[in-house]
Amino acid sequence: MDIKVRNLSKKDYKDLKNSMTEAYQGLGDVWTKENIVDLVDIFPDGQIAVEVDGKVVACALSILLDSQKTNIYDKYYAIIDDGTFEKHDNEGDTLYGIEVFVHPEFRSLRLGRRLYDARKELCEAMNLQRIIAGGRIPNYHNYADSMTPRTYIEKVKRKEIYDPTLTFQLSNDFHVKKILKNYLPEDSESMEVATLLEWNNIYYEPLSKSFSASKQTIRLGLVQWQMRSFKDLQEFYDQVEFFVDTVSDYNTDFIMFPEFFNTPLMSPYNELPERLAMEKLAEHTKEIIERIQQFAVSYNVNIIAGSMPIMERGKLYNISYLCHRNGSLDSYKKIHITPNEFKYYGLVGGSEVKVFDTDCGKVGLLICYDVEFPEVSRILADQGMQILFVPYMTDTQNGYIRVRSCAQARAIENECYVAIAGSVGNLPRVNNMDIQYSQSAVFTPSDFAFPNNAIKAEATPNTEMVLIADVDLSALKDLHEYGTVKILQDRRKDLYSVNLLK
């Protein structure tokens, strides 16, 4: 499955019409081709589509309004001028949402959330004051005989009643600004009542305008995973999804699990020699990664799936997967194998060093021991890496300090962010995985734009928890140009160099 959030084009009308017809069966007319052509012409950035495997299955349409010139409390057809969109104002301060729909067959993918997030990012990038939209309350007809719209809305807010539209909008940080009567005359489910919803842009600067759509603040979510026994694979999946669900609720861009976080599944093979037990664990890897890919798409978050074993051509590797939220997949094989990994499991090292392009910049992946070799990180930095992710597994504090200290050094010398995530607890029925020591953290370069100790955030040691931290990519750009020291620029390449040999 390939998922893309992009601007709508005029060529998408056939897909759009089909999806909207399925989404709004029996509720009004679909947008005409002339409507869509007009919207794309007057405000192309405001027309957002979600494409799944080459077809548009969800869409959000918007115009710009000047809140000083337009009555935002007006009825829907007055706002859109019956489809002529004459109130659109390129100098407006308000993004007015005139449509959001998702094809019914794709609603389990939470595509509506992606559309709302894209609108918020557009609002911030254009330095608009707010997003305004009229919202249906399609479940109200079941309660209209016993309560007023106001009472119904208050009960939905308190989660005493579920409304498929309003509950979703409230969960996406919109608040009800006003109740609108006779908003959509054909909407019998909502009893012609709607809510005027508002999302305020806290970054709005009244005297500033910007049309840059690049995202600069990236939110990281690190899972400090408690090793525990699972009765079966489904229970393992339930635990993984619990963390994905929890962390994605904070609107994170990345979630990272630790190295070998799936080793509790080795428990049934504990009587086998270590190598054979690891090979048995590797048999689950394909299925596990497919499930985590589904989580990445459904919860709209990029997932670094820790690491797990994989067998290829008779060789056993330690591999990490980057599951993109658009459905694509990248992987990295651990290059440097520890003496114990070789002794007990016969693991071999990978041979590829590269950065990965994501919707939040260029990222690198290293696994545990790899971060103790500075040459690899330097090669990634030369390829444009902005964030380095390091899932790790350490049994003692000594091992942890090696990983932590080297990770901090990599952040400073490569002028990037480094995030590390490990496991805690114990596994009494899994040989060589019996105890864990961890303190997950996010490290920064060391200069005035960053924390004085170059630590953005760190978890409580040896406690299962999640760590949420924001990192600013624009601060890295400033550091490269105006830093107190310029490590990447000041290297003496006339004396030494680090090259990737092929």
Set 51, 124, 198, 259: catalytic member: 259
Two tokens, residue 225: 């995973």
Closest CA to 1 of 106, 119, 113, 117: 106
Q: Which residue type does 226 have?
A: Q
Enumerate helices (H) and strands (E) in the chain, giving the number of each. 13, 22
Q: How far is CA 180 from CA 64, 133, 379, in A?
A: 20, 11, 58
Those residues whose C-beta lies under 8 Å from the C-beta of residue 393, and which sit 6 or more positions away, are 258, 259, 260, 368, 422, 423, 433, 436
With contact defined as beta carbons under 8 Å apart, do 228 and 425 qualify?
Answer: yes
What integer pLDDT is reported at residue 31 of this predicted model?
A: 87
CA distances 230 to 159, 263, 295, Å, are: 33, 10, 19
Q: What is the DSSP string of 80-120?
A: TGGGT-TT--TT-SEEEEEEEEE-GGGGGGTHHHHHHHHHH
Q: Could you report the per-residue pLDDT of 145-192, keeping only the tens digit for each?
A: 999 999 999 999 999 999 988 999 998 889 999 998 877 777 788 888
Which residues of the chain are modeled with pLDDT < 50?
208-214
How many CA atoms lie within 13 Å of 355's alpha carbon, on the beta-carbon side?
Answer: 19
Options 334, 360, 372, 415, the catalytic residue: 334
Tell me the C-alpha distance between 385 and 363, whole Å: 5
Q: What is the pLDDT of residues 355-395, one digit of tens each?
A: 999 999 999 999 999 999 999 999 999 999 999 999 999 99
Alpha helix stretches (DSSP H) within 147-261: 149-157, 166-171, 233-248
Q: What is the pLDDT of residue 211?
A: 40
Nearest 10 degrees: Cα torsion 388, 389, 395, 401: 30
Q: Cα–Cα distance between 417 and 411 in angstroms, integer?
A: 5
Marked catalytic residue, from 123, 368, 406, 416: 368
The residues near 3 (Cβ < 8 Å, ≥ 6 apart) are 50, 51, 52, 109, 111, 297, 325, 326, 327
pLDDT tens digits, residue range 198-226? 999 988 887 644 443 446 889 999 999 99
Is 360 one of the annotated active-site residues of the chain? no
Whether 92 contacts 67, CB under 8 Å: yes
Give the pLDDT confidence score for residue 259 in this predicted structure. Answer: 97
As a whole number, the mean pLDDT across the chain is 91
* H-run or E-run covering 265: none
pTM over cut 0.75:
yes
Instruction: Give pLDDT, residue 26.
Output: 60
The question of whether 259 is a catalytic residue gets the answer yes
Q: Tell me, what's the pLDDT at 187?
A: 76
Rg from Cα positions in the chain: 26
Tell me what pLDDT residue 213 has. 40
DSSP character at residue 459: P
